[in-house]
Amino acid sequence: MIDATEFLDIPTTTLADLLGREQVMDIGIRPLWGPAPRIAGPAFTVRCPPGDNLMLHAAIHRAEPGSVVVVESGDLDHALAGGNVCAVAQRRGIAGFVADGLIRDLAEVRDLRFPVYARGIIPIPGTKAAVTPLGEPVRCGGVTVAPGDIVVADEEGVVTVPAARHTETLTTARAKLAKEAAETLDDWETAHRSRIDEILARGGVGD
């Protein structure tokens, strides 16, 4: 089994090239402070109905150290978490939150340097009443995330690596990065121009 931290060396741009649009969360899921550290860990999945944040608050006591808590919500009227929740999550070794929703207490979270990728901030807290199962597939940023999928997030965005593709993706990503590292800008420019000129020629456009 692959250690999820091995993906810390893989940019989300590389993963997006390999996995395609369906594994990349939409542009609304962004780091809430910067410069954003890259995080990588197995998904611990949570579903919170609009207006309620109970299960995220439960998840911080149940998620394993190193995991990324991924929250399905979509609520843009209430905060899923605040400074204390993020502080406890950090103390318990959780790598970060990826939430299809909002948080509050951004200054506290930024001072903690706890990674939160979400849709934004709002000062209004949610209630705590709705009990839903933890560890089920969720939708976050337009992507279906299953428990154990590896979530990689950085300033470019958030990508999920399905559990069945961990080894293949890591191997291919490392090979791609090694090839790119060995290529000079002159090499890249020559190959790039040749490819673009070929496409233009096929479309009837000359020099």
Give phi and psi for 158, each to the nearest 5.
-130, 130
Give me the mean pLDDT over the 19-28 stretch. 97
pLDDT digits (tens, 9 = 90+) for 3-16: 999 999 999 999 99
* Averaged pLDDT for residues 184-202: 93
Rg (CA), the chain: 19
Percent of the chain with pLDDT over 90: 95
The band of 1, judged by pLDDT with boundaries at 50, 70 and 90, is: low
Q: Give residue 204's pLDDT.
A: 86
Considering the entire predicted model, what is its pTM? Answer: 0.93
pLDDT tens string 48-103: 999 999 999 999 999 999 999 999 998 999 999 999 999 999 999 999 999 999 99
Rounded Cα–Cα distance for residues 122 and 29 (Å): 15
Average pLDDT over residues 166-181: 96
| Span 108-121, average pLDDT | 97
Q: What is the pLDDT of residues 99-112, one digit of tens each?
A: 999 999 999 999 99
Mean pLDDT across the stretch 113-123?
98
3-state secondary structure of 139: strand
